[in-house]
Chains A and B, each alone.
Chain A
Amino acid sequence: MNYLNNIRNKLFLKESFWAAIMILPALVGTFFFIIIPVIGSFTISLTRWNLISSPKFVGLDNYIKLLSDQLFYDVLITTFIYAISVVIFSIAIPLILAVALNEKIKCLTAFRTAYFLPVITPMIVAAIVWSWIFDPNNGILNFMLTQIGINSPPLWLFDDKWSLIAIIIVSVWKNIGYNMVIFLAGLQGIPESLYEAAKIDGANTIKKLWHITIPMLTPTIFFVCIMSTISAFQVFDLIYLMTEGGPENSTMVIVYWLFKNAFEFFKLGYASSIAYVLFVIILILTLIQWKLRKKWVMFE
């Protein structure tokens, strides 16, 4: 008995040794490039620091300053408006498209490729093309708008009332394909027998959609909703590339503001406190998602 235990122990030790070797590279990297920085970020948020002089501990000063900064509230509101609009449209449109694709359509792959092009395109390319489309003088969009009788179309990126809308359009355009694929998988996971039963009961297309498809898809919709919200809060590239937060701060979102404070104004402490506000927002969203994950359908 003792002898057996001994062997078992030895084997376990041996396995632990190999496990350590195999995990170590990932663990060391994660420790240095994720875990230390995330602690460092909080520490920096308690200091005043401009990269040149050494950091000075100021306690919660940055957070207090943040709460009394009007721009902080403006930035949060802009970010929320952006996130909510993007999420609504990048759920509704892909949902409709996925339902249409699920109608035993020919050339499914061709359609999927088309919808996927924006997803895989670098943001800089999307930004260049859409800046050109939105161009008030030579852009194709305003030309078409004047053709259908709109005589003074918006200046888009140059107009503080329209700039955020323009950014939202590009974001939604880029997200559609990704969410559509997830919804399509969700749809394909709904058992055919439910529809057959409904058919026998004499339900029409709209009724089937409302009483079977949408309820069965709710977990997927919820999942996409949370994931899209998380990524919407992290928007940066588009803002940097298309509007630089302007005009008049109308597109100043939280990550771009964080970037400006850190790498243009060199207020690293202040920037880190903004980073932690972002972290807390995303943490809350993630926890909601984890709490409710058991209710999701597993598909594939």
Chain B
Amino acid sequence: MEIKKKMGNVRIRKFIAYTILIIGALSMILPFIWMVLTSFMTNSQIFSYPPQIIPKTFLWENYTEVSEKIPLFRYFLNSLLVSIATVIGQIITCSMAAYAFARLNFKYKEFIFLIFLATMMIPPQVNIVPLFFLMRELHWIDTYWALIIPGIFGGFGIFLLRQWFLSFPAELEDAAKIDGCNPLETFWHIALPLALPAIVTLGIFSFITSWNSFMWPLIVTNSEVMKTLPVGLASFKGSFRETTEWAQLMAASVVSVIPVIVVFILGQKYFVKGIMMGAIKE
């Protein structure tokens, strides 16, 4: 009797859990499904009443038309180039600095590390006016330099990788030292390969952050050929009061969301780990 009641309890709990999770998951996904379906509709179908869910015919025209109206492919390439360059720059600078902080002894080590930690407290929006001015002085406005270089620096990556380097035993590097490797060589041949999981985590994080970045590219780009995908899409969308090209907007949205989904699915494990590492930062 008691056991039966318990089994019933577990079943009820599971039922409630699944119900909550499914309703939640649907409200997460439905906007995306709605977006994909709308991207195949004709304008007359979009503005019909009552709203229709399923496209009458699957129109690819919205995709081709939107890429004729705006340089969608160029935006896409810009975003890809900027994101990949930012990721590479971040991995190189952060992993070297993180290794030095974790393994080498030098003067003012704690103090310099504290400076990097302190920069994590500065909201990027605070710096945007002087940074814009700096870009203007360097003649970097409307160039890839402005889109890439400032995005590379920040304390988060150094912090994350330093934790990782600290977590594996220094003995692993002793053999290299005995062989006469200098710290940079030891780092390159021994430490870096061992840190690969943490580096992939950082890479996925910074790829998605860079791909989605909006305010900075909005400020430093003017010409169509330099716009990243979010900025280009935003100018195509225009003022929300005037928008009518919903189908084409949805088609462009589908195109811009695909890369992050691919990156996320490929590296889901690392991404979740990265959140955890961010969550336990001291």
Contact = CB atoms under 8 A, between A and B. Distances in A.
Contact of A138 (B46, B127, B134, B256): B46
Q: Is the interface of A mostly helix, strand, loop or mixed?
A: helix
Interface residues of A, number: 102
* B interface majority secondary structure: helix
B126 A38 contact: yes
A33 B153 CA distance: 7
Interface string A264-300: 0000100110011011001100100000010010111
Contacts of B123: 230, 233-234, 278-279, 282
B212 A122 contact: yes
B233 interface: yes
A125 interface: yes
Interface string A15-54: 1101111110111011011111110110010000001000
B196 interface: no
A112 B261 contact: no
B67 interface: no
Given A101-B21, A128-B249, A37 B127 contact: yes
A122 B96 CA distance: 30
23 contacts: A15-B104, A19-B106, A25-B96, A26-B158, A34-B122, A34-B153, A35-B119, A51-B133, A113-B265, A115-B24, A121-B212, A121-B257, A124-B233, A125-B257, A143-B50, A173-B31, A181-B275, A182-B279, A185-B276, A237-B215, A255-B125, A272-B129, A279-B126
Interface of B: 9, 13-14, 16-18, 20-21, 24-25, 27-29, 31-32, 34-35, 38, 46-47, 49-51, 92-94, 96-97, 99-101, 104-107, 109, 112, 115-116, 119, 121-134, 149-150, 152-155, 158, 182-184, 187, 208, 211-212, 214-215, 218-219, 229-230, 233-234, 237, 239-241, 243, 246, 249-250, 253, 256-257, 260-261, 263-265, 268, 271-272, 275-277, 279-280, 282
